[in-house]
Amino acid sequence: MTAPATDAPRAAAEALLRSPGPVRRRVAAGPAVRWLVLFAGGVAMVAPLAYMLSTSLKYPFEVYNLNLIPEEPTLDNYRDVLSDRRFGWWFFNSLLVATLTTVSNLFWDSLVGYTLAKFRFRFRQVVFIAILSTLMIPTEMLVIPWYLMSQQFGWLNTHWGIMFPGLMTAFGVFLMRQFFQTVPDDFLEAARIDGLNEFQIWWRVAMPLVRPALAALAIFVFLGNWTAFIWPLIVTNDQHMYTLPVGLTTFSVEQSVQWELIMTGAAVSVLPTLVVFLVFQRFIIRGVVMAGLKG
């Protein structure tokens, strides 16, 4: 005799609970696969960094031995790199260029982004599209005009020469515009009634409300400039003016590549980027914009 219709769902549920394995095994396999994929991704991310650190602790004879733990660990490479005065210049040049470019981008990108987001004026959309369209031009195409311009103005082998192409970016303007659009006009109008001028409104009211975006932009710009290679290589030929990525290539000459020194320089150069990320990541994580609005 078949079970009454009303008992059918209950019977099905009990059968499911009693069923020995396939269902439960499938449920358990999900997280396992996820963990496996994440672990593989993590290894892929960390492995180059680990090898960089490992190589920086090896003697030259051991560099091509791919074991992760050096047989005879040494800090000689660090001593050599840090005692090389050129490394100090490169580090200083990179730090100066990346820092000033970041500050410049934070200021100009957000000022232009704010204007495009919050002011109504003729051809606003045209201006925005024109700025965006510059994103479609590859750097390689721009290098020659930049170089000719630098040569003409005497900017070769100067910090300004390294920095000027990146002082303001279309991506930064786009990013900041999008964030400023999320800032409610009430904030700005309240400040207008309170007597602030438009620049003060931007600086004192709007900017603090987009701190997460500023932090994200700061990280992007700093890292981008810290690791920039092609343009600094082209615009400088005086070793004093090299940035770190360009300077590290001097450890590699035609006959030999001093991998242990390159890796040591790279390991040292990673430190500022870690500091920048650790300083700014809390601003990214903390969403502050909505805190002053309706709760």
Partner 1 sequence: MTTLILRDLVKEFGTTRVVHGVSLDVTPGEFIVLVGPSGCGKSTTLRMIAGLEEVTAGTIEIGGRVVNDLEPKDRDIAMVFQNYAIYPHLTVRQNIGFGLYTARLPRAEKARRIEEAAAVLGMTAYLERKPAALSGGQRQRVAIGRAMVRDPAVFLFDEPLSNLDAQLRTQMRLEIKKLHARLANTIVYVTHDQVEAMTLADRIVIMKDGRIQQVGSPAEVYHAPANTFVATFIGAPAMNLLAGTAGGGRVRLDIGAEIAVDTTAEGPVRLGIRPEDLRPAAPGAAPLRGRVSVAEPLGPGTLLHVDLGGAEVIATGPGRGAPEPGQEVGLLADPAALHLFDAATGAAIR
Site for partner 1, rule CB under 8 A: 184, 186-187, 189-196, 205, 208-209, 211, 288-295
* Rounded Cα gap, residues 198 and 38, in angstroms: 48
| Nearest distance from C-beta of residue 213 to partner 1, angstroms | 14
Q: Give backbone dihedrals phi and psi of 252, rounded to 5 degrees, phi first.
A: -115, 110
257 bridge partner residues: 252
| Residue 105 structure tokens | 């981008």
Spatial contact of 84 and 262, defined as CB atoms under 8 Å apart:
no
Cβ proximity to partner 1: between 113 and 212 the closer is: 212
Instruction: Please tell me the distance from the alpha carbon of residue 285 to that of residue 6, in angstroms, as a whole number.
Output: 51
Residue closer to partner 1 by CB (options 41, 292) is 292
CB of 209 to partner 1, least distance (A): 7
Asked if 87 and 246 touch (Cβ cutoff 8 Å), the reply is no
Q: How far is the CB of 289 from partner 1 (least distance, A)?
A: 7
- Taking the least distance from each CB to partner 1, the nearer of 196 and 268 is 196
In whole angstroms, the minimum distance from the beta carbon of 194 to partner 1 comes to 5
| Nearer to partner 1 (CB atom), residue 270 or residue 289 | 289
User: Shortest approach of partner 1 to residue 173 CB, angstroms?
Assistant: 23
Instruction: State the nearest-atom distance from the C-beta of 120 to partner 1, in Å.
Output: 12
Sorted by sequence, the CB contacts under 8 Å of residue 128 that are 6+ apart come out as 116, 177
Nearest to 84 by CA among 228, 229, 262: 262
Shortest distance, position 121 Cβ to partner 1, whole Å: 15
| One-letter amino acid for residue 230 of the chain | I
Q: Which is nearer to partner 1, 189 or 238 (CB)?
A: 189
Burial letters for 201-212: b for 16+ Cβ neighbours within 10 Å, e otherwise?
bbbebbbebbbb
Which CB, 132 or 196, lies closer to partner 1? 196
Structure tokens at 197: 């001028």
Shortest Å distance, C-beta 201 to partner 1: 11
Cα–Cα distance measured from residue 153 to residue 147, given in angstroms and rounded to the nearest whole number: 10
Whether residue 76 contacts residue 59, with contact meaning beta carbons closer than 8 Å, is answered with yes
- Of 126 and 193, nearer to partner 1 (C-beta) is 193
Conformational region of residue 154, where left means phi above 0, alpha means psi within -120 to 50, and beta covers everything else: left
Nearer to partner 1, 185 or 254 (CB): 185
DSSP helix/strand/coil, 195: coil
